[in-house]
């Protein structure tokens, strides 16, 4: 469903992506892992059409999103849901209005239909009783679930999860991963998840891609990455400081 071909991107003269290539299959969840600051979120933003590469392409169902603009790009983005690291909620809006925002801004649905859809998705993430609360009144886990509901409210075909468990305690983090798993089973979206929560995430994804020094060093199933003989892969998975991986 998604093809990344020879993606290059630099920031202020520093080359972050040095020829990233991989494919994400329709209906699967792929975990994108790697060291902090290596460019994982940059790849996500290219797939979502939020950044343009210096060189290379990102194809969604054969369409090069990097060449789209205006209405065409907006139409393509309507197929996406994006869960940002911090949730990115509007502090002045209630939970209900945060989730309703994309429907009010991007569709012509009547308010009654918007309410029906918002309540349905809030129920799916366990927040039906919190619709009138504001972000300042929410726990970290509730903020993430609200952001997840907002990302799902337009029933996207593709979901991008950028560090969905950042800043959460272990129990809440596992709850969010469990929720992503259950929603994926129900909705069958194609998902890409950037995470450091390896143990739990490996249980819900079909494949794992390791980004290292600007390229995809390894891609395969969780079992394949866990049994890989590549020294860089072994060091990253084990978390040891002894080895050839550059620390960031």
Which of 116, 131, 151 is the last residue before a domain boundary?
Answer: 151
pTM for the predicted model, two decimal places: 0.88
**166 and 246 assigned to the same domain:** yes
Q: From residue 221, give the alpha-carbon distance in Å to each of 161, 205, 218, 228.
A: 19, 8, 10, 10
Same domain? For 176 and 246 the reply is: yes
214 contacts: CB under 8 Å, gap ≥ 6 = 15, 16, 17, 18, 19, 20, 38, 39
Overall number of domains in the chain: 2
Q: Between β-strands 2-11 and 215-220, what pairing exists: parallel, antiparallel or unpaired?
A: unpaired
Give the residue numbers spanning the domain of 131.
87-151
% of the chain at pLDDT higher than 90 = 71
> Is pLDDT at 63 greater than 80 in this prediction?
yes
What is the structure's pLDDT at 199? 84
Closest C-alpha among 187, 77, 80, 195 to residue 144: 195
Indicate if 71 and 14 belong to the same structural domain: yes
194 vs 210: CA distance, rounded Å: 10
Final residue before a domain boundary, out of 127, 151, 175: 151
Express each pLDDT in 119-154 by its tens digit: 999 999 999 889 999 999 999 999 999 999 999 999
Query: Domain with 240 in it: what CATH number?
Result: 3.40.50.300
d(CA 61, CA 121): 27
Residues 107 and 214 in one domain: no
* Residue that is last in its domain, among 151, 171, 195: 151
27 and 147, same domain (yes or no)? no
């Amino acid at each position: 469903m998604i093809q990344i071909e020879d993606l290059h991107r630099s920031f202020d003269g520093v080359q972050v992506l040095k020829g990233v290539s991989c494919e994400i299959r329709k209906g699967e969840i792929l975990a994108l892992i790697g060291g902090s600051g290596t460019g994982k979120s940059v790849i996500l933003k290219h797939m979502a059409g939020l950044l343009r590469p210096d060189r290379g392409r990102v194809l969604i169902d054969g369409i090069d999103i990097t060449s789209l603009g205006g209405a065409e790009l907006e139409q393509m983005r309507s197929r996406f849901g994006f869960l940002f690291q911090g949730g990115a909620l509007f502090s002045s809006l209630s939970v209900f209005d945060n989730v309703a925002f994309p429907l009010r801004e991007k569709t012509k649905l009547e308010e009654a239909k918007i309410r029906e859809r918002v309540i349905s998705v809030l129920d799916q993430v366990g927040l039906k009783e919190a619709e009138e609360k504001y972000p300042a009144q929410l726990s970290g886990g509730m903020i993430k679930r609200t952001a997840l509901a907002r990302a799902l409210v337009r029933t996207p075909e593709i979901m991008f999860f950028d560090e969905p468990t950042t800043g959460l305690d272990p129990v809440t983090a596992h709850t969010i991963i469990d929720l992503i798993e259950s929603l994926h089973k129900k909705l069958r979206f194609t998902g890409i998840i950037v995470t450091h929560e390896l143990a739990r995430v490996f249980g819900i994804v079909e494949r794992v891609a390791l980004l290292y020094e600007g390229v995809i060093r390894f891609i395969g199933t969780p079992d394949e990455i866990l049994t890989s003989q590549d020294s860089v892969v072994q060091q990253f998975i084990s978390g040891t400081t002894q080895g050839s991986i550059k620390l960031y």
